[in-house]
Structure 1
């Protein structure tokens, strides 16, 4: 790409498909051999920068390693990596930092983060530093930045195409066979905007998991408590960003895969509606399936960085490159408060009727309610409708082929525990749905969406303003970041994928098990005395404060379809209320 960031003539819309491997060829090597080779390659690249490694080995028994990645930085480097993306691009634009020193600082932290959490897949620091040098030269010669993200390092989830980089997507079967010849649309826009790409990050085998583990690189750990998961499927992003190894990352979400890692790592994440953000150029199973579709979006350390990402993506008019996208420019004025009511009406979902949240999550909802009321906002209870029905339906939409493609791709790549559990959920006795059955499932999906839309609209009868609620405030999951291989209920996130509603996750605290005392929420929610189903029984039995020590506590704000700006605008008011209450 030229130094000014322009696309050379045109941009090819990526159409790379999953490799046809098991159908026609024998696998050339065992997954163990592929894993060894991949890890060796990664470590050889990281070894080129010995000064960026910790000087002492950290024992596996060390649980909270979150402070170590920045421990060896100079004061200036530490200052750099503690900026959010918005303030960092401003500092770069004002020439307070060079692109090279910013890139070096984040590469340094990313190197240590990898050693502690196993969050990286592809590493290309050399290319990143060359790009940063080009950007600095351009700034020196012209006095102008290349674009709105000039010099900003951005990390990319593994299954998103980056030209010249492997896209194994968590499958050992695909490693070394999926080197991309082009960028995903979002990645091409990042380059045009002046961003510096330097790493790709871990996602789980199959991508259909809310933890991050695969047979290529192994398990990704939560740096705040390494006995816990960082979430998935964008778990590498969450782990890296949470320890200041990246100021901004791209994830994807078809059931919670942006929101769960953001929640578990104490970060901000945005799942927009389908067709709002560019999505072309992702590699994974079920290419071409559109009964339920994922969304690409940001994970960051501030809410304003979510808006920055969206603003930049839509500034470059991606609908001219990707036909399914809606021509809908970003409205920053809405994020800044235009058309956002001064007094919001928020509905709180305390319990989805399937799995009640653990006490710290109920506490967070109670604190949010009290803060919103104190700030003059109205709060009502969101009555849950059809959460088990929604899960049963979305499972069918995930597995229209009865799981056949997953089983085929995993023929030489044994399923890791979370995928083994997920494959045990395959409906229809593992048989594919017929065309007629798929038609009926699509009708069921639309009927469910219509029912919940009417339910939302009907809240106008329960509000003082006479208008429907502005947003729903909800748990992100029934637990904080759980122990590895124990995630069991997706319903607090996948429900909103089925609805295709916009949702943002934001942090509200961190659990100190030694000091924790549950709040009384009995006036707000009557919890069941007995477990209502085996999933709730399993999750209820997990609760013990020490299990979740140092885990982040986060909540989710949900708006209507294509209301990304309104969600972020309302989130400002919610956070203002929470901050004023302390």
Structure 2
């Protein structure tokens, strides 16, 4: 009977070990082939990305070549153009000369094109030429009424949509996707007679205040090529500071207009989100509601910012984007001269900025007081809470997973690797690391916990509620002090290349006003002195932790570079903010001219 059973048994049961060995060999072979296939696919993916990058660079170089040929053609046909005189004119004066036709739009456009080529050869700030500008040049001649920006050449940031051009956000993922129509901002600028002629470079993903990406490379600061121009509107900052653009447009969700303006020694305004249209402005992550991002102007002086806002806040803007409140520019507020109640502080209690920055705030406060304004010390409430629990958790509500998928489809720029490394750490590991480092590095612990994001939709709703509650708390403090405006630091001076990704939380001074959605602008007021540099050697920061040490290293050797301050107003009061910025600019210039 046993023999019958053995006969009926399957073959694998008679010799199980031989079959197990065979299965293990099959499993091993499958594992090896799967691994090989995965590596092959990954290699093919990287090669595809490299080809896309090579093609994008080639197109950019071709565009710059077109730009150079256009300039040379114009110069041959129009010898003796007084370029230096044109480049030195303030925006309002240039606009007036174009309106009265004592200068031609062709002369101005090709003069700025030539200068932009020189600046980008030195700094790598232009991402692409917009050849359609020559067609736009002809179009404005047909306009019956001359807009406020008639014939003014302007530059725009990489991701501000322009029909037929890329909006890369510094990511290879978006190469090959051309914009189907102009953004509302570009449409209104064209209606006002402006001529967009170049797109400018940005950091990979925009979520950094350096200006480098794996496609178009690193943009340098025109004032010191060992330093960055700030970000993410760094290409704009470099081009305007170098004289290659008279008016540019950036965007700001954590300081991306104000930091480049500070690093490059120009003026920039972050309006209240919604005051200008964001329609057609592409981001790597759209739909973030906890923290408000916005587009805004950048220029050499405050009057240019005000002139630009006056041009943009027009019926065309309100009709093309009905979500923009129909609030024309209030010239009366901007031209006001009544004394202001000005709150001020030199540190937000989260990141102590370099000595030159604190000196700039106190020096500006003293000048304002001497001019008849009332200065009131102000302490912004709970900035550490606003930084970690509101800003970071709002930006990285998903724990950074969506942004990480973008990086996985790309070649990570070396400048951003420290930042991407933190995103790649699993949430559980981040929480464990946070507990380990908390006793000696509490800011990093809070940072790691914040990067874990929110755990559910319910938590996201609670987060939105916390943001609204903080808005009210801040406004209550503002009203308690009866403030009109606020004077405070902005990050600076310009960092040495590679440092922004190592100390992302240093943007607390600017990101606060994105959380609050207050209008805020940057005005250069002084430069770094030898005394500032000497005092920097004793700098220990607020916590004496590695971030404070990195900040000290980032700004070393900056003697002679610009130092700015930040001017803030309540929501929808851009005109008052600009009026305050103008007062700061005027007083600072008077001191420098003595």
Q: TM-score range by the shorter chain?
A: 0.7 to 0.9
Distance 1:379 1:297 in 2: 28
Does structure 1 conserve the Cα–Cα contact (< 8 Å) formed by 2:129 and 2:197?
yes
* Equivalent position to 2:103, from 88, 93, 97: 97
The alignment status of 1:31 with 2:27, answered yes or no, reads: no
Deviations 1:237-295 (A, max 9, x none): 01011111111111100000011111111111001111111111111122223222201
Which residue in the other structure is 1:269 paired with? 268
Query: What's the counterpart of residue 62 of structure 2?
Result: 44
Is the Cα–Cα contact under 8 Å of residues 346 and 470 in structure 1 kept in the other structure? Answer: yes
**Are the structure 2 counterparts of residues 305 and 349 from structure 1 closer, same or farther at C-alpha, using a change threshold of 3 Å?**
same
Match of 2:149 in 1: 149
Cα deviation for residue 74 of structure 1 reads 6.0
Tell me by how many angstroms 1:49 deviates.
Answer: 5.2
Q: Counterparts in 2 of 1:309-324, with a 5 A limit? A: 309-324=308-323
Please give the residue correspondences for 1:490-501 in structure 2 after superposition, counting only pairs within 5 Å.
Answer: 490-501=507-518
The partner residue of 1:398 within 389, 395, 399 is 395
User: What is the rounded CA distance, in whole Å, between the counterparts of 2:283 and 2:239 in structure 1?
Assistant: 22
C-alpha distance in 2 between matches for 1:580 and 1:28 = 55
1:39 deviates by: 1.6
Alpha-carbon separation, structure 2, partners of 1:290 and 1:192 = 30
Aligned residues of 1:354 and 1:387 also touching (Cα < 8 A): yes
Summarize the Cα distance change of 1:248–1:354 in structure 2 as closer, same or farther, 3 Å threshold. Answer: same
For residue 239 of structure 1, what is the aligned residue in structure 2?
A: 238
> SS at the partner of 1:30?
helix
- Equivalent residue, structure 2, for 1:163: 163
Cα distance change on mapping 1:528 and 1:114 into 2, 3 Å: closer
Name the CA shift for 1:52/1:531 in 2 (closer, same or farther; >3 Å).
farther
Give the CA deviation at 1:375: 1.3
| Partner of residue 227, structure 2 | 228
> Match for residue 486 of structure 2?
472
1:100–1:133 Cα contact (<8 Å) kept: no
Segments of structure 1 that go 5 or more residues without pairing to the other structure are 1-25, 55-72, 460-467, 522-526
The CA RMSD over aligned residues, in Å, is: 2.6
TM-score under structure 2 length normalisation: 0.81
Shift of 1:32: 2.7
**What are structure 2's unaligned runs of at least 5 residues?**
1-43, 73-78, 423-446
Deviations 1:507-559 (Å, cap 9, x if unpaired)?
A: 113335xx5457999xxxxx978635442343235453x2x244221111111
| Structure 1, 233-242 or 360-369: larger mean CA deviation | 360-369
Aligned 1:419-438 pairs, distance under 5 A: 419-423=416-420, 424=422, 427=449, 430=452, 433-438=455-460
Aligned-partner Cα distance in 2 for 1:105–1:529: 46
Q: Choose the corresponding residue for 1:362, options 354, 358, 365.
A: 358
Alignment partner of 1:345 is 2:341: yes
Q: Distance in 2 between matches of 1:433 and 1:300?
A: 42
Q: Between Structure 1 and Structure 2, whose CA radius of gyration is higher? A: 2
Deviations 1:290-331 (A, max 9, x none): 222201110011101111221111113423332432222221
* Residue of structure 2 equivalent to 1:551: 561
What residue number does 1:539 align with? 551
Find the counterpart in structure 2 of residue 182 from structure 1: 181
The equivalent of 2:376 in structure 1 is 380
> Conserved in 1, the CA contact under 8 Å of 2:67 and 2:129?
no
TM-score (norm 1): 0.82
Task: For residue 110 of structure 1, report the CA deviation from its aligned partner.
Answer: 1.0
Residue equivalent to 2:498: 485
SS at match of 1:325: coil
The offset of 1:46, in angstroms, is 2.0
User: Distance between the aligned counterparts of 1:210 and 1:248, measured in 2?
Assistant: 20
In structure 1, C-alpha distance between the alignment counterparts of 2:355 and 2:127, rounded to whole Å: 36
How big is the shift at 1:496? 0.7
C-alpha deviation, 1:31, in angstroms: 3.0
Rounded Cα–Cα distance in structure 1 between residues aligned with 2:118 and 2:188: 28
Further displaced range: 265-274 or 368-377 = 368-377
Contact 2:526–2:588 (Cα < 8 Å) also in 1: no
Identify if the C-alpha distance between structure 1 residues 169 and 520 changes in structure 2 by more than 3 Å, giving closer, same or farther.
Answer: closer
Is this contact kept in 2: 1:501–1:559, CA < 8 A?
Answer: yes
CA distance in 2, matches of 1:530, 1:432: 28
C-alpha change, 1:49 and 1:232, in structure 2 (3 Å) is closer
Equivalent pair of 2:302/2:585 in contact (CA under 8 Å): no
Question: Which whole-Å deviations, capped at 9, do the CAs of 1:147-192 have from their partners, x for residues lacking one?
Answer: 221111111101111011111121112111x201101000000111
Which whole-Å deviations, capped at 9, do the CAs of 1:86-137 have from their partners, x for residues lacking one? 221111001111111111001101111111111111212x4222322443x4
1:517 and 1:534 map into 2 onto residues whose CA distance is 21
> Are 2:303 and 1:278 equivalent residues in the alignment?
no
Partners of 1:297 and 1:436 in 2: how far apart? 33
Query: How many correspondences in the alignment?
Result: 512
Q: What is the distance in 2 between the residues matched to 1:205 and 1:429?
A: 19
Higher helix content, 1 or 2: 2
